């Protein structure tokens, strides 16, 4: 129901609307249009939402008649993003301007102070000159730093203190003290008649510059989502009344038939109706080899059609496409916090008021115990401590790295659900791997056929017989015969004997296919076939005996083949320090054969789904941090129990919803990529936290003057301002280094 409503909803952007009075006028005008069920205006973003089947043009006409203007808003995520970018750009330029103006006043003033050393008020002329300078600086504080003061005031009223509070207090104190010197110099001792107007202007300028650079650097951290958004096409070629029409993507509905030509992007999720082509899914799955798509295959929005034309039916559109879900998930995960941030969070929460107290205490110490000029020293210490102490860098340390890390993962087909999963993936001890479909391809294949005579003829007979069987192994035999293009016949007198095998008559010959029990039952001696069968069974294959007219003719072996890249991926995971254990419902012999081949440490075979969860729980009880890899649906309980569940290959909605980490490709390399990414991200977070902690823990004492006995100098508030501006920038830039992360092996 909700979805139907959404489909019939049109968003308009209004112009000329400025007051609440206009709202009623437009709403009632539009409600009069035939087919409109509801019309709502949002005054904040000047949009009109119309529900119902009315034609957009009629609604626009109604708005025009009411004296305003409207246009259909393309409210796609991409559009929104572009607007956001434009606004960010404006903010960036605004900050640059503010910085330039403030530094334009502050720098010459500072140069004057350094060159002439005449920054004191000793005469009426000084009072006058510095008074004018004070007013100019006041203008700088109001126009370039106004937002710090309004923010500080608002936060103060809410009993909270922010970075604005520190900046406003620092610069405000410097200015007020200087103004006091200008107005009543005679009240102060001669040595303390120094003005600090340049400090106020410089601090505002430097912090604005730092913020501008931060806005720039931050823009880059979310590049991953932007890349994903760019995968979404803006229009689609839809078949309407036998014609192909280009429509905006928002108007495509589930059930529509769409055409994609070579070189075009698939606009929505769907199923191929006609045609065949190679589709490059690398942007979504990280899989570099294009996948062959034909009738009945699924297509995903955002993937690239390479060489053929495809007609397909739209199945999921808009926010339901897998790409949209991925974007949503990446965005959500990017904003989540990692457990390691907890301490930093706690510190940030109480930091500002604590710093204010430290600043006052330090100022009082200097005033009471410090050398002359005490008042000047007190002011420098107070201002410097306030300015240098901003905990922004501390607050940014983790979210910036998580943002880049999660985005980077998406690029390699590793979807991390939240920051917690990202952190936990880095220190796993054991990786428990489901066999079928993860280490192996998941569908049995005929691997060996040994016969007395023509093996193709034997295969033809056996496949003809197995056509009637529903056993999964039968499918492997039939598929192998199809691949060899053998002509199959229908069997007569077909019989499936439970737990034994099958028998039937083909071209007058009685064919038997089954295990040794079947042959015993039919009194057919196995001869030396038994030894050959045992060899194959030891290699992990399921062996069946074949007899024609009561005589053994050969054996066939079926196995679920190991994935091409499984051995390399396992070797990589072992190198990363993980112990590997295999879980499978399959028999012990096959499981052990696979484990031997892949060098897996331990095997748990013949399990039921609930056993898998129990094994994970047992490992955890023994103190191990357990990662579980499975294909998402039957392994769900174990995936949920594990410290980190990796849903592999599925990429289905369920897996995306439920797993901690979803790997878009069916390869264990994805797990190795995820572990490497997680370690890189955690390393980055630790660097950031270290940087931010060091900066605050060293910065505050230095600003408070602990180095004074050694250097004879106090930290200038200007240096404190520059350091503060640099701190956040350093953290954001360091987080951006993660963008260069590459897994140790790219497949």
In this structure, are residues 399 and 734 in contact, taking their beta carbons and an 8 Å threshold? no
Q: Beginning with the edge strand found earlier in the chain, give each strand of the sheet holding 430-434 in spatial order.
A: 414-416, 661-663, 644-648, 626-630, 430-434, 579-583, 602-604
- Give the count of beta carbons closer than 10 Å to the beta carbon of residue 742: 12
Asked if 88 is part of the footprint of another protein (rule: CB under 8 A), the reply reads yes
Q: Which is nearer to another protein, 677 or 732 (CB)?
A: 732
Q: Treating both helix axes as pointing N-terminal to C-terminal, what angle do 392-411 and 197-221 enclose, rounded to 10 degrees?
A: 20
Q: Beginning with the edge strand found earlier in the chain, give each strand of the sheet holding 277-280 in spatial order.
A: 291-293, 277-280, 304-305
Asked if 395 is part of the footprint of another protein (rule: CB under 8 A), the reply reads yes
In this structure, are residues 679 and 687 in contact, taking their beta carbons and an 8 Å threshold? no
Among 22, 260, 392, 536, binds another protein (CB under 8 A): 392
Question: Structure tokens of 633?
Answer: 């649906």
Q: Which is nearer to another protein, 45 or 71 (CB)?
A: 45
Please tell me the distance from the alpha carbon of residue 728 to that of residue 715, in angstroms, as a whole number.
20
434 flagged as catalytic: yes
Which stretches of 9-55 are DSSP H helices? 20-31
Please tell me the distance from the alpha carbon of residue 61 to that of residue 75, in angstroms, as a whole number.
20
Q: Which is nearer to another protein, 359 or 663 (CB)?
A: 359
What's the closest the beta carbon of residue 150 comes to another protein, in angstroms?
5
Among 6, 37, 123, 332, binds another protein (CB under 8 A): 332
Question: Structure tokens of 516?
Answer: 């040794």
Among 154, 484, 517, 596, binds another protein (CB under 8 A): 154
Asked if 343 is part of the footprint of another protein (rule: CB under 8 A), the reply reads no
Q: Binding segment for another protein among 151-159, 316-324, 526-534, 655-663 (CB under 8 A)?
A: 151-159
Question: Structure tokens of 614?
Answer: 């129990």
Q: Binding segment for another protein among 154-162, 433-441, 446-454, 604-612 (CB under 8 A)?
A: 154-162
Asked if 91 is part of the footprint of another protein (rule: CB under 8 A), the reply reads yes
Asked if 283 is part of the footprint of another protein (rule: CB under 8 A), the reply reads no
What's the closest the beta carbon of residue 401 comes to another protein, in angstroms?
11
What's the closest the beta carbon of residue 399 comes to another protein, in angstroms?
4
Asked if 44 is part of the footprint of another protein (rule: CB under 8 A), the reply reads yes
Among 208, 277, 334, 688, binds another protein (CB under 8 A): 334
Q: By rule CB under 8 A, what string of x and - marks binding of each residue 407-436 to another protein?
A: -----------x------------------
Among 39, 59, 119, 152, binds another protein (CB under 8 A): 152
Asked if 658 is part of the footprint of another protein (rule: CB under 8 A), the reply reads no
Single out the catalytic residue among 164, 233, 269, 434.
434
Asked if 211 is part of the footprint of another protein (rule: CB under 8 A), the reply reads yes
What's the closest the beta carbon of residue 254 comes to another protein, in angstroms?
23
Q: Could you tell me which residues come within 8 angstroms of residue 284 by beta carbon, excluding any fewer than 6 positions away?
A: 231, 300, 302, 303, 322, 323, 326, 413, 651, 664
Question: C-alpha distances in angstroms, 567 versus 266, 572, 634, 669, 747?
Answer: 34, 9, 24, 10, 13
In this structure, are residues 251 and 74 in contact, taking their beta carbons and an 8 Å threshold? no
643: closest CA among 377, 452, 429? 429
In this structure, are residues 189 and 129 in contact, taking their beta carbons and an 8 Å threshold? no
User: 415 — phi, psi (to 5°)?
Assistant: -100, 115
What's the closest the beta carbon of residue 741 comes to another protein, in angstroms?
21
> Three-state SS for 86?
helix
Please tell me the distance from the alpha carbon of residue 714 to that of residue 613, in angstroms, as a whole number.
62
Asked if 163 is part of the footprint of another protein (rule: CB under 8 A), the reply reads yes
Question: C-alpha distances in angstroms, 467 versus 445, 501, 506, 509?
Answer: 15, 13, 12, 16
Question: C-alpha distances in angstroms, 104 versus 97, 144, 202, 726?
Answer: 10, 12, 9, 19
Asked if 337 is part of the footprint of another protein (rule: CB under 8 A), the reply reads yes
* Helix or strand run (H / E) with residue 344: helix 342-369
In this structure, are residues 682 and 404 in contact, taking their beta carbons and an 8 Å threshold? no
Among 32, 35, 67, 353, binds another protein (CB under 8 A): 353
What's the closest the beta carbon of residue 130 comes to another protein, in angstroms?
22
Asked if 336 is part of the footprint of another protein (rule: CB under 8 A), the reply reads yes
Question: C-alpha distances in angstroms, 71 versus 12, 58, 234?
Answer: 5, 11, 18
Asked if 227 is part of the footprint of another protein (rule: CB under 8 A), the reply reads no
> Three-state SS for 559?
strand
Asked if 452 is part of the footprint of another protein (rule: CB under 8 A), the reply reads no
Q: Binding segment for another protein among 39-47, 137-145, 238-246, 555-563 (CB under 8 A)?
A: 39-47
Q: Count the site residues for another protein by CB under 8 A.
A: 56
Question: Structure tokens of 161?
Answer: 């203190």
Q: Which is nearer to another protein, 84 or 744 (CB)?
A: 84
Asked if 132 is part of the footprint of another protein (rule: CB under 8 A), the reply reads no
Q: Give residue for tokens 């191990």.
A: 624
Q: Binding segment for another protein among 210-218, 247-255, 495-503, 584-592 (CB under 8 A)?
A: 210-218
Among 156, 247, 526, 576, binds another protein (CB under 8 A): 156
Asked if 160 is part of the footprint of another protein (rule: CB under 8 A), the reply reads yes
Q: Which is nearer to another protein, 368 or 498 (CB)?
A: 368
Asked if 45 is part of the footprint of another protein (rule: CB under 8 A), the reply reads yes
Asked if 164 is part of the footprint of another protein (rule: CB under 8 A), the reply reads yes
In this structure, are residues 729 and 390 in contact, taking their beta carbons and an 8 Å threshold? no
Q: Binding segment for another protein among 161-169, 197-205, 275-283, 441-449 (CB under 8 A)?
A: 161-169
Among 194, 237, 331, 408, binds another protein (CB under 8 A): 331
Asked if 210 is part of the footprint of another protein (rule: CB under 8 A), the reply reads no
Q: Which is nearer to another protein, 491 or 705 (CB)?
A: 705
Asked if 218 is part of the footprint of another protein (rule: CB under 8 A), the reply reads yes
CA atoms within 13 A on the CB side of 46: 12
Q: Binding segment for another protein among 389-397, 436-444, 454-462, 507-515 (CB under 8 A)?
A: 389-397
Asked if 729 is part of the footprint of another protein (rule: CB under 8 A), the reply reads no
Please tell me the distance from the alpha carbon of residue 472 to that of residue 479, in angstroms, as a whole number.
11
Among 97, 112, 367, 708, binds another protein (CB under 8 A): 367
Asked if 94 is part of the footprint of another protein (rule: CB under 8 A), the reply reads yes
301: closest CA among 276, 286, 281, 287? 281
Q: Which is nearer to another protein, 353 or 472 (CB)?
A: 353
Q: Which residues are catalytic?
A: 434
Q: Which residues are at the interface with another protein (CB under 8 A)? A: 42, 44-45, 80, 83-84, 87-88, 90-91, 94, 147, 150-156, 158-164, 211, 214-215, 218, 331-332, 334-337, 345, 348-349, 353, 356-357, 360-361, 363-364, 367-368, 378, 391-392, 395-396, 399-400, 418
């Amino acid at each position: 129901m909700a979805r139907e409503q959404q489909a019939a909803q049109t968003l308009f952007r209004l112009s000329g609307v400025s007051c609440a009075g206009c709202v009623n006028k437009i709403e009632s005008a539009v409600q009069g249009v035939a087919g409109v069920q509801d019309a709502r205006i949002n005054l904040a973003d000047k949009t009109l939402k119309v529900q119902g089947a009315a034609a957009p043009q009629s609604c626009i006409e109604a708005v025009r008649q009411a004296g305003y203007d409207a246009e259909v808003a393309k409210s796609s995520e991409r559009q929104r993003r572009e607007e956001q970018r434009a606004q960010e750009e404006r903010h960036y330029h605004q900050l640059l301007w503010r910085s330039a103006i403030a530094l334009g006043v502050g720098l010459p003033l500072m140069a004057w102070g350094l060159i002439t050393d005449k920054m004191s008020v000793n005469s009426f002329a000084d009072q006058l000159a510095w008074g004018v300078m004070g007013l100019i600086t006041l203008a700088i504080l109001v126009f370039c730093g106004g937002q710090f003061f309004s923010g500080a005031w608002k936060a103060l009223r809410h009993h909270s203190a922010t970075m604005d509070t520190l900046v406003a207090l620092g610069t405000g104190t410097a200015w007020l003290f200087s103004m006091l010197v200008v107005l009543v110099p005679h009240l102060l001792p001669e040595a303390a008649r120094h003005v600090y107007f340049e400090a106020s202007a410089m601090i505002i300028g430097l912090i604005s510059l730092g913020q501008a650079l931060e806005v720039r650097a931050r823009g880059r951290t979310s590049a991953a989502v932007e890349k994903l958004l760019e995968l979404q096409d803006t229009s689609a070629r839809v078949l309407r009344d036998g014609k192909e029409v280009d429509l905006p993507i928002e108007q495509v509905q589930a059930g529509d038939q769409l055409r994609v030509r070579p070189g075009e992007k698939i606009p929505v999720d769907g199923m191929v109706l006609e045609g065949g082509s190679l589709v490059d899914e690398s942007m979504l799955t990280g899989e570099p080899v294009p996948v062959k798509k034909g009738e009945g295959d699924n297509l995903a929005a955002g993937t690239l059609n390479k060489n053929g034309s495809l007609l397909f039916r739209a199945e999921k559109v808009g926010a339901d496409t897998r790409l949209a879900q991925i974007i949503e998930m990446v965005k959500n995960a990017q904003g989540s916090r990692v457990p390691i941030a907890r301490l930093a969070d706690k510190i940030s929460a109480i930091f500002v008021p604590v710093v204010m107290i430290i600043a006052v205490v330090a100022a009082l110490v200097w005033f009471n115990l410090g050398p002359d000029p005490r008042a000047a020293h007190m002011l420098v210490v107070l201002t410097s401590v306030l300015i240098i102490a901003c905990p922004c860098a501390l607050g940014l340390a983790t979210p910036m790295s998580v943002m880049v890390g999660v985005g980077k993962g998406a690029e390699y087909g590793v979807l991390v659900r939240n920051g917690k999963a990202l952190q936990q993936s880095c220190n796993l001890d054991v990786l428990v791997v489901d066999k079928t479909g993860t280490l192996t391809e998941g569908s049995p294949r005929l691997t060996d056929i040994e016969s007395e005579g023509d093996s193709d003829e034997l295969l033809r007979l056996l496949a003809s017989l197995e056509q009637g069987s529903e056993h999964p192994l039968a499918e492997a035999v039939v598929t192998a015969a199809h691949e060899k293009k053998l002509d199959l016949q229908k069997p007569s007198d077909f019989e499936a004997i439970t737990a034994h095998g099958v028998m039937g008559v083909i071209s007058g010959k009685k064919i038997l296919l089954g295990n040794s029990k079947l042959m015993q039952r039919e009194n057919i001696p196995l001869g030396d076939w038994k030894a050959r069968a045992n060899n194959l069974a030891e290699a992990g294959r399921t062996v069946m005996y074949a007899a024609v007219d009561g005589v053994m003719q050969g054996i066939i072996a079926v196995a679920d083949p190991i994935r091409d890249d499984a051995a390399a991926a396992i070797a990589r995971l072992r190198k990363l320090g993980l112990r590997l254990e295999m879980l499978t419902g399959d028999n012990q012999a096959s499981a052990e054969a696979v484990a031997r081949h892949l060098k897996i440490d331990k095997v748990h075979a013949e399990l039921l789904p609930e056993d898998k969860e129990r094994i994970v729980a047992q490992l955890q009880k023994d103190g191990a941090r357990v990662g579980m890899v499975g294909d998402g649906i039957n392994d769900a309980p174990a995936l949920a129990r594990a410290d980190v569940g990796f849903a592999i290959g599925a990429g289905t909605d369920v897996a995306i919803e439920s797993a901690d980490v979803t790997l878009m490709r069916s390869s264990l390399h994805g797990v190795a990529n995820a572990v490497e990414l997680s370690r890189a991200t955690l390393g980055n977070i630790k660097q950031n936290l270290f940087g931010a902690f060091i900066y605050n823990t060293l910065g505050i004492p230095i600003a408070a003057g602990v180095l004074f006995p050694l250097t004879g100098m106090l930290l200038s508030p200007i240096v404190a301002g520059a350091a503060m501006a640099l701190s956040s920038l350093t953290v954001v830039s360091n987080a951006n280094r993660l963008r260069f992360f590459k897994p140790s092996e790219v497949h």
